[in-house]
Structure 1
Amino acid sequence: MTIGAWTPPSDKKPAKIEREQLQRFIDLLESNQAPALADLLAQEDQQSDFLVRLPGKEWLQEADNWSDGEIWHLIQFFALAEAQLPSWEGGAESAVIPLAKSLRRRKSPLNKEQLMWLKQNSENRFLPYGPL
């Protein structure tokens, strides 16, 4: 008789960035500065909480595909998602941190107004610079 380990099947999507999904997030923020995400996001998008905690390296690479304005909308989306959606807490691993870093690398850092928006709409003390 042998004893093995049983691994339950996973119905979760693979943890990867999908540009179509990010574009939906950007579109939400282009039309509204602080939407109620739970009311506006499709159920599938609400279950993509893994995105907020993907490694920073992946977000830095993905940021190369987006304009400064689109990155700002993604920063807004993830900050609001952390504040409004259950299980979207990113803490020190939040997607906002590498996205903000990508703007600094482009010599387009967040301005005072954007920093104030983050402070008003997020309780994550690590945003936008990460653990210091």
Structure 2
Amino acid sequence: MSVTTWDPTQKPNHPELTRVRGWTAQAWPSADALVQLSDDDRHTLQAWITLDWTLWEPVISQLTASELVHLMQLMTLAEGHIGGCDAGAKSTVIHAFRQHKAKFGAPDKELVRWIKANTQNRFLPYGPVL
């Protein structure tokens, strides 16, 4: 028998719809907007940004088109401006982009240009080629 400890500050290891909807209630037009995030939000983003699609799908599938756009903006900016949010080919932006395309059609080209202009991640927004 093993004994473990309970940490009340431990973050859930899966995205929570309520938390994500709080973030996606507004647009994230530039890195300046990230100052609105609390330390807790930043730590949560660090923990969630590279989670597998199977963990994100239940949340992302419930978001509206505008919420998906706002999530892509936030995660794009987080990768470049919040330490520990480098996601590469595992980026949540890729999941959100694919969900938007499947559910609402391809996001407009202006969003694609915005993502590319605001990231160093070569995989955004489409994901890896293979």
Partner of 1:45: 41
Partner of 1:125: 122
Q: 2:20 aligns with which of 19, 22, 26?
A: 22
Q: In the aligned structure 2, how far is the partner of 1:83 from the partner of 1:100?
A: 18
Shift of 1:43: 1.0
After superposition, the Cα gap between the structure-2 partners of 1:128 and 1:102, relative to the gap in structure 1 and judged at 3 Å, is: same
TM-score under structure 1 length normalisation: 0.83
| Secondary structure of 1:13's aligned partner | coil
Gaps of 5+ in 2: none
What's the % identity of the aligned pairs?
Answer: 27
Shift of 1:83: 0.8
Shift of 1:37: 5.0
**Conserved? CA contact 1:82–1:89, under 8 Å:** yes
| Secondary structure of 2:124's aligned partner | coil
Aligned alpha-carbon RMSD (Å):
2.2
Q: Confirm or deny that 1:33 pairs with 2:15.
A: no
Partner of 1:85: 82
TM-score under structure 2 length normalisation: 0.84
Counterpart of 2:117 in structure 1: which amino acid? Q
After the TM superposition, list the runs of 4 or more consecutive aligned residues in structure 1 that deviate by more than 3 angstroms.
7-12
Gaps of 5+ in 1: 1-6
Q: In the aligned structure 2, how far is the partner of 1:98 from the partner of 1:113?
A: 18
**Conserved? CA contact 1:57–1:98, under 8 Å:** no
Q: 1:69 aligns with which of 66, 70, 73?
A: 66
Aligned length, in residue pairs: 126
Q: In the aligned structure 2, how far is the partner of 1:85 from the partner of 1:51?
A: 13
Counterpart of 2:108 in structure 1: which amino acid? N
Shift of 1:28: 4.1
Return the index of the structure with the highest Cα Rg: 1
